[in-house]
C-alpha cells in the first residue's frame, strides 16, 4: 500500500485543490455536474471560498502534492440538516487502488456522524466508484436518467444513500 497523508483542506490550499479539481473535470466530465471550462476560468479565490464553505478532505503524497479529494456538504437548513452530501470524489489515476479513495470515504462518513444519512450521486458507468460506495454500506435509491449531457451523450447518475442510524 502506498503511503499518503490525509487532512482537511483550508482556503490556503486553493491552488493545489484547483489543480486536482480541474484534472478530474477534464479527464472525467461525465462524472461531475461542474463544467471544466467554467471552473478553469474561475480565480483561485473561487476555490478558496469553496474550501471555506465545505468540508473537503485530501490525500497528499510524500512530496506534499494533493492526489485525491472528496467533499462533504452539511445542509444548513432546519429541514435538511440531518442529511450530508458527499461530492467531488476524485483520485488521480496513478493513485487508484492504493486505498486512498476508501480512506477518504470512511473519513467523510466519520465526519458526518451527527447526521442520519449521507447521500451521493455517481456516474452509472463508474463501476469502481459504485463498488466502493456499496462496500461502505451505501444503497441505491434511484437513478437520475440523462442527468448530464457531455459531448453529445446523455449520462445517467445513480443516487445512493447511507443510513447512519443503521451502522451505529
User: What's the pLDDT at 98?
Assistant: 93
Per-residue pLDDT at 164 exceeds 80:
yes
Question: With 70 as the cut, is the pLDDT of residue 168 above it?
Answer: no
DSSP reduced 3-state for 43:
coil
Of 109, 104, 88, nearest to 163 (Cα)?
A: 109
Q: What is the pLDDT of residue 1?
A: 63
pLDDT tens digits for range 100-133: 999 999 999 999 999 999 999 999 999 999 999 9
> 122 near 129, Cβ under 8 Å?
yes
CA 29 from chain centre, in angstroms, equals 14
- The reported pTM is 0.93
Helix (H, G, I), strand (E, B) or coil at 9: coil
pLDDT digit string, tens, across residues 129-159: 999 999 999 999 999 999 999 999 999 999 9
Helix, strand or coil, per DSSP, at residue 49: helix
Q: What is the pLDDT of residues 36-62, one digit of tens each?
A: 999 999 999 999 999 998 999 999 999
Note the pLDDT of residue 167. 76
Q: What domains are defined for the chain?
A: 5-163 (3.40.630.30)
Q: What integer pLDDT is reported at residue 75 of this predicted model?
A: 85
The predicted-structure confidence for 69-101, as pLDDT tens digits, reads as follows 999 999 888 888 899 999 999 999 999 999 999
Amino acid at each position: 500500500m502506498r503511503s499518503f497523508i490525509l487532512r482537511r483542506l483550508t482556503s490556503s490550499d486553493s491552488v493545489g485543490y484547483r489543480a486536482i479539481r480541474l484534472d478530474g473535470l477534464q479527464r472525467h466530465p461525465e462524472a461531475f455536474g461542474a463544467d471544466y471550462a467554467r471552473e478553469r476560468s474561475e480565480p483561485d479565490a473561487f476555490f478558496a471560498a469553496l474550501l471555506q464553505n465545505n468540508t473537503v478532505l485530501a490525500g497528499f503524497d510524500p512530496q506534499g502534492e494533493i492526489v485525491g479529494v472528496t467533499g462533504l456538504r452539511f445542509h444548513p437548513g432546519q429541514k435538511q440538516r440531518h442529511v450530508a452530501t458527499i461530492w467531488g470524489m476524485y483520485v488521480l489515476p496513478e493513485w487508484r487502488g492504493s486505498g486512498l479513495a476508501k480512506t477518504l470515504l470512511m473519513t467523510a462518513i466519520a465526519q458526518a456522524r451527527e447526521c442520519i444519512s449521507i447521500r451521493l450521486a455517481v456516474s452509472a458507468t463508474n463501476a469502481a466508484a459504485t463498488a466502493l460506495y456499496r462496500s461502505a454500506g451505501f444503497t441505491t435509491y434511484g437513478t437520475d436518467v440523462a442527468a448530464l449531457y457531455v459531448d453529445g451523450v446523455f449520462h445517467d447518475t445513480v443516487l445512493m444513500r447511507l443510513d447512519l442510524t443503521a451502522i451505529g
